[in-house]
Amino acid sequence: MFCTAVACRSLLALVFGVSVFSKLRSRHAFAGFVAGARALLPAPVPAGLPVLGAAVAAEAAAAVLTVLPWTAPAGLTLSCGLLIVFSWAIAAALRRGAPPPCPCFGPSARPVGPVHLVRNGLLAAAAVLGILATSAQHTAQPAAVLLALAAGALPAAVVINLDDIVDLFATGR
């Protein structure tokens, strides 16, 4: 179970870490995130930038807390909570009928859709699995831990590049 926890932690730390980096790598990137996030929300964001800045800070905290063994349960719980909130925002945008592009990992032309809800649901499930598996004794061999890290990195790469993968297999292109 320890290796399962490591794989889940690796997945979520990479996803949230890359998400934060993609938003904070430049002023232009952050401005793009702000525009995309505002378009996702059903009403104007109260206090504007501070609320969106807090969301990015929460993502950064989730990434860091998930990596550290003694704070992993808190990081996984925060990750799950963030994914629920993000899913709510995506569902609200879909109900309004004019979904904007997803600002999750930088600029994107693909509007949010059911694939993003499924993505978030699977990531939230990984967070819950990680929480449950974190309580297990950790007696894994170093090679097993390295494999678990890789087992988390592979789906993280898929999640981070999901819009491009969906575009690649989209019909009519």
Mean pLDDT of 155-172: 86
pLDDT digits (tens, 9 = 90+) for 135-145: 766 777 888 88
The rounded distance, in Å, linking the Cα atoms of 154 and 173 is: 26
**Amino acid 102: pLDDT:** 79
pTM: 0.90
Comparing 1-10, 45-54, 93-102, which segment has the lowest mean pLDDT? 45-54
For the chain, what is the mean pLDDT?
Answer: 88
**What length is written for the chain?**
173
The rounded distance, in Å, linking the Cα atoms of 162 and 166 is: 6
| Domain range annotation of the chain | 2-22+57-99+112-169
CB 158 within 8 A of CB 169: no
Q: How many CB atoms lie within 10 A of CB 85?
A: 13
pLDDT digits (tens, 9 = 90+) for 38-70: 877 776 666 567 888 899 999 999 999 999 989
CB 126 within 8 A of CB 77: no
CB 92 within 8 A of CB 41: yes
The residues facing 101 across adjacent strands are 111
Of the two residues 103 and 137, the one the predictor is more confident about is 103
- Helices 2-24 & 49-67 angle (0-180, nearest 10): 150
The residues facing 113 across adjacent strands are none
Assign 12 a pLDDT band (cuts: 50, 70, 90). Answer: very high
**Amino acid 61: pLDDT:** 98
The rounded distance, in Å, linking the Cα atoms of 161 and 173 is: 18
* Encoded amino acid at 40, one letter: L
